[in-house]
Structure 1
Amino acid sequence: MARVPHLTSRPARKRALAAAGAAFSVVLATVGVVAATTGAQAAAANLVQNPGFESGALSPWTCSSGSGTIVTSPVHSGADALRGTPAGSDDAQCSQTVSVQPNSAYTLSAWVNGSYVYLGDTGTGTTDGSTWTPGTGGGYSQLTTSFTTGASTTSLTIWVHGWYGQPAYEADDFSLTGPGGGGSPSPSTGPTSSSPTPTPSASPTGGTGGTCSAPAWVSTTAYNGGAVVSYNGHTWTAKWWTQGDIPGNNAQNVWTDDGACSGSGSPSPSSSPSTSPSPSPSSTGGGNGGPHKHVLTGYWQDFVNGATVQRLSDVSSQYDIVAVAFANATGTPGQISFAVDSGLSSSLGGYSDAQFRADIATLHSRGQKVIVSVGGQNGAISVGDSASASNFASSAASIIKSYGFDGIDIDLENGVNATYMGQALHSLASQSGLGSSFVLTMAPQTIDMQSTGMAYFQLALNVKDILTIVNMQYYNSGSMNGCDGNVYSEGTENFLVALACIQLQNGLNPSQVGLGVPASSSAAGGGFVSPSVVNAALDCLASGTNCGSFKPSTTWPGIGGAMTWSTNWDASAGNQIANTVGTHLHSMP
């Protein structure tokens, strides 16, 4: 997790931060598929007009609400740079429309200076990309994101912006490399950074129509945006979400790159379909978190960092889902491994692999789910293509089967690829052998779930059919936008309610939305709230009672629950989360 509890969790990181204090790790949420070679990209011309602002003017860039100006210091190179100045209701987005070619690979980069600076692209025709830095200024750093264009894409918008109420940022030396387009586009009017949700047409372009009803040739789980089924050597892709009953999914037809399934379930020729919309909000979730309607999730540390050292069996029985932190990357792309940390074993006077496995069985006997968490501050695991997706799924399935885990938690700090990680998770759900009992949780940062244009949010929607709960981290983030467009400060009930509202209004089922909170002020650099505030926020979301000054216009009685980092820090604080929030969750109707 990109949070101070994780940043202070591993011994080496803890020592480094003892002097530096709490800080974010930089998350590069790179989205898309890079199809060109590095050499080809390096040789390509820069498609951005006025990339370094050396003209002394903004054109053809346009900036929201007049927020952009040209400055002579600080610059990355040359004499000039762009400065964007956010306001309380404006993120100072500056954008430009660029001509491109269909079905082509591109890399976008820029040098930025400031806190919460975002770089991205909209209108690619595939998966729009974005990346950001939570740096505090003091020097330029480069942001980069890559993507491929869709079959009919001839222009797209590149953009940069800061964050609401944050200080001004600078940007310089933009670069978009890839095949050049066929014309000079007009200046952009400045679309928002969020990827717009496509509007479905009556049927995909070139399709033969008809609803797939789990025909015999469907051999694996289908998902939104990747090749997952085959028939007589053809590669088929799930592209269109509507009503149907493909195994392992809800609400979709299957349309393909080189064919489509007809009502009879037989493949027939077709051209590429139009852009696919996000999964329907009517889709139901996947695995369950145990016998309770509202669940409490806690991370158990398999390492020592100053919190109470626990055996797995020491975890309070109030926790419905216990996420073992963490599995780690190997030298093979996408592959993960897991073993109990030797430092933990030493601190416990010996804690063998066999004892750990026995403790998993103990928690199972209490009705608790135990899952393995992937990532954390040191977990640089990258799933960015089909090969790494396959490696991830097979290695994770092996770990789950070996230890008897009930599923997996995705806590990646180095960015996610919504398409290929979605492919990997669907494959893992199938390979795990757990069926509908498979548990899939996620722990994105607050910034990752601000809109459906963010890669983590896209991933959650892509795997909605197997997703148990998203426990977003409501801490270490500063002020953020709520669903009403207002800015709220972390560490308040309004912050919890208004940010949860974004997920609840944008496609996730109520049961898939949880409130991730630190167990104590020692467990996070900012955002700690007392357990009573967490309970009040849950009540506000579920029934409209005990709200702060912000009260949503609707309620979500099926709200999923809450999460804490960590069970160890909770034990250090007297198990306040387990005893107060856990008890409250389990008593909610």
Structure 2
Amino acid sequence: MFVNGLKAIIDEYQFDGVDIDFEGGSMNFSAGGLRDISYAGISAYPRLKNVVDAFKELKAYYGPGFLLTAAPETQYVQGGYSTYNDTFGSFLPIIQNLRNELDLLAVQLYNTGGENGLDGQYYGSAKKANMVTGLTDMIIKGYNIGTTGMRFDGLPASKVLIALPACPSAAGSGYLTPTEGINAMNYLRTGTTFSGRTYTMQPGGPYPSLRGLMTWSVNWDASSCGNSSELSKAYAAYFATQSAKLKAEDKIELTSNKTLAYFKDNALAISNEASSIDQVEIYNMLGQSILSYKNIQDTNSLLLENRSFSTKQLFIVIVTDKQGTKKTFKVMNFLN
């Protein structure tokens, strides 16, 4: 009934995804006794298994282009590092068992008292940028869940968003100025330190594919905060700068490899000086396949079109030549 009800709403309004945002008592799945986080393990806890099954069914029904996101509070995720019960860490089994289906996770780094980081230090909202770096690092690296013997494996950085309030009045706590938030994000993405940093990323960072920002909310940012979209403008400028750097780096990489891949009038142009092209595979940054093209014409150049190319985003392009050599590139469509 739950799944059919969601399907009816999605179909009527043509939504392209659904967000999992249980809060308060609804996050109690009566699974505090769980000691096996695998799918087989959660099968003994019907409320938990039913949630996982419902969203697996929705994702399978609508296909990979249908977005599945989640925005839990910190106690239900990072809280499980210190304690696991019916509340603390209760969302971890859902993330773990929907890790293939889940496109984006944005743990709310606001309205919270804070949690312990992987360095054993407590990070509350008063520590601001350090809380962002510490609690985001946890989601990517993974951690042991309390004293249960279970482990949360973490998610790829490309599936993780930093979630912050648009202004102080948008949440009870957790607000960072755009400068502070960008400092934290830039440290996680590039390793560039910032004034007042006390948290150090665990081995494996930085994470250049860290996905971006979620805020509560665009309406607060646009008008309720009285700052004329200050937050969105600041982060847009930051990402534009990063994209420009990426574009320059990609040009150098593509030229040195004697293979070119670039957008021309919203079509992807590919050429190879050394050999004819055999296969081209294109993915978005979520790892979803956009296009797989077999070149039966035995040519050294291609011009490929796809409706996904009409949106500004970053693509992973894998080019295989007739000798079987594969080259992988990140190519941004800047729509200009």
Same fold (TM over 0.5): yes
Q: How does 1:28-43 map to 2 (within 5 A)?
A: none
Q: Does 1:505 align with 2:124?
A: no
Q: Does 1:461 align with 2:99?
A: no
Distance in 2, Cα, partners of 1:499 & 1:525: 18
Structure 2: which 5+ runs fail to align? 30-47, 143-153, 247-336
Deviation at 1:521, TM superposition (A): 0.6
Identity level (%):
31
Match of 2:217 in 1: 566
Distance 1:587 1:449, change over 3 A: farther
Contact 1:406 1:439 in 2 (8 A): yes
Contact 1:472 1:516 in 2 (8 A): yes
Match of 1:549 in 2: 198
Which one-letter code corresponds to 2:220 in the other structure? W
Q: Does 1:495 align with 2:126?
A: no
Cα deviations by residue, 1:40-82 (Å, 9 ceiling, x for unpaired): xxxxxxxxxxxxxxxxxxxxxxxxxxxxxxxxxxxxxxxxxxx
Deviation at 1:427, TM superposition (A): 0.7
Deviation at 1:467, TM superposition (A): 0.8
* Superposed CA RMSD: 1.7
Match of 2:238 in 1: 584
Q: Does 1:485 align with 2:115?
A: no
Distance in 2, Cα, partners of 1:583 & 1:420: 42
Contact 2:74 2:114 in 1 (8 A): no
Deviation at 1:395, TM superposition (A): 1.3
Which one-letter code corresponds to 2:71 in the other structure? A
* Equivalent residue in structure 1 for 2:175, among 516, 528, 551: 528
Cα deviations by residue, 1:247-271 (Å, 9 ceiling, x for unpaired): xxxxxxxxxxxxxxxxxxxxxxxxx
Where 2:213 maps in the other structure, the secondary structure is strand
Distance in 2, Cα, partners of 1:542 & 1:530: 18
TM-score with structure 1 setting the length:
0.32
Distance 1:402 1:501, change over 3 A: same
Cα deviations by residue, 1:524-580 (Å, 9 ceiling, x for unpaired): 111111011111111111111134222213211111211111111001231122111
Distance in 2, Cα, partners of 1:494 & 1:577: 19
Distance in 1, Cα, partners of 2:28 & 2:239: 30
Q: How many residues align?
A: 197
Match of 1:426 in 2: 56
Structure 1: which 5+ runs fail to align? 1-390
* Equivalent residue in structure 2 for 1:446, among 65, 69, 74: 74
Match of 1:383 in 2: none
Contact 1:544 1:551 in 2 (8 A): no
Where 1:409 maps in the other structure, the secondary structure is strand
Which one-letter code corresponds to 1:493 in the other structure? A
Q: Which has the higher contact order (CA 8 A, sep 6+)?
A: 1
Cα deviations by residue, 1:319-352 (Å, 9 ceiling, x for unpaired): xxxxxxxxxxxxxxxxxxxxxxxxxxxxxxxxxx
Deviation at 1:420, TM superposition (A): 1.5
Q: How does 1:404-415 map to 2 (within 5 A)?
A: 404-413=14-23, 414-415=26-27
Deviation at 1:586, TM superposition (A): 4.7
Cα deviations by residue, 1:78-131 (Å, 9 ceiling, x for unpaired): xxxxxxxxxxxxxxxxxxxxxxxxxxxxxxxxxxxxxxxxxxxxxxxxxxxxxx
Where 2:136 maps in the other structure, the secondary structure is helix
Distance in 1, Cα, partners of 2:193 & 2:8: 45
Match of 1:514 in 2: 161
Contact 1:540 1:551 in 2 (8 A): no
Contact 2:182 2:238 in 1 (8 A): yes
Deviation at 1:587, TM superposition (A): 4.0
Cα deviations by residue, 1:493-548 (Å, 9 ceiling, x for unpaired): 10000001111111211112111100001101111110111111111111111342
TM-score with structure 2 setting the length:
0.56
Distance in 1, Cα, partners of 2:185 & 2:4: 37
Distance 1:470 1:480, change over 3 A: same
* Equivalent residue in structure 2 for 1:473, among 108, 115, 118: 108
Contact 2:117 2:123 in 1 (8 A): yes
Deviation at 1:426, TM superposition (A): 0.6
